[in-house]
Amino acid sequence: MDPNLLYWKSQGQSFLSRLQIWINLLDPLSLISSDDEIQKAHSLLGSGQPLNEKDGQALTLSLSSVHADSGAVLPLVFRSAALLPISTPLVVASFLPHRSVKPALFWQFLLQSYSAGFNYANRNSSPEQSKKTSLKQLLLMAGTVSYAACAGALPQIFISRLGVRSAAIQTFFRSILPIPLSAALAFFNVFTVRSEESETGIQVFDSNGNPVGLSKAAGDKAVRETALSRAVLFGTTAALPNLLVLLLQRTRLFQRNSLLAAPVRHMSVALVLGLMIPVSFSLFPQLGTIKKENVEERLWAAADGGRFYYHRGL
């Protein structure tokens, strides 16, 4: 078992402990570290030596920048610490009340493309024999991005194509519909991009960290948990700012100064996204568990304590 997973096993089994860890891991300063520094940090974590306070930076680098299956350094833009600075302008722009369909499609395409890349880079890659991405996976990702971008632009498509002029209906399409739509598309993005894990299975471990085989049931559970956490992230990010603006628009200040709605919406989206990223990452353990009865029968003999461990991915 990778040193990163061993750390999550000992330190990340409660929500509050995971939340505290993720708040530290999302520090964007870790992005300036070189690949050599990251590999040295990962080696230090895997040496088995007790870590002191000076090794805290090495722990952060290893957990936030190294893939727990392959041991390879993650691409810079797809590391956990890069999610907030890269996705914030994309999310804010995607939630804007666009005047036409083209800009809505453009920003949705960028957001869904980055989300697909992030989901794929941080997947569970334990069953893969080659690091090369298959043509099937590339086509699946392209189809996912295309479908999700068109679906994400549906509110603007409805307004433009139907010629909606009613303020109440426009409010529904711009402020209410994006809430369930954002959550559903985030779930869909993870579920389709990482569908191969459910089809081929992922590596499961016994209580001592020894690999015992591939399990489709564990792969399905890992994908569903990650998809649900991402739906919570984007659904909440869409809900709270929109509801806040709707409430503030009833006040005299906003009725007299309608231009205040835009900056309030933008700042609240960025704030909620920043607060929800560590929360969504912490909803489920990085090293998940699954009962023996829920995996394939051929693996039961290796069960120690009646459960197996698996890397959930991110």
pLDDT value for 55: 62
pTM of the model: 0.91
Q: Across the strands, what pairs with 189?
A: none
pLDDT tens, residue by residue, 233-257:
999 999 999 888 888 878 877 777 7
The pLDDT tens digits for 27-48 are: 898 899 888 988 888 888 776 6
DSSP structure class, residue 100: S
Residue 292 CA: distances (Å) to CA of 204, 208, 307, 309: 11, 15, 5, 10
Distances (CA, A) of 229 to 6, 60, 131, 226: 22, 22, 26, 5
d(CA 175, CA 312): 33
Per-residue pLDDT of 120-150, as tens digits, reads 999 998 877 555 667 888 898 999 999 999 9
169: pLDDT strictly greater than 70: yes
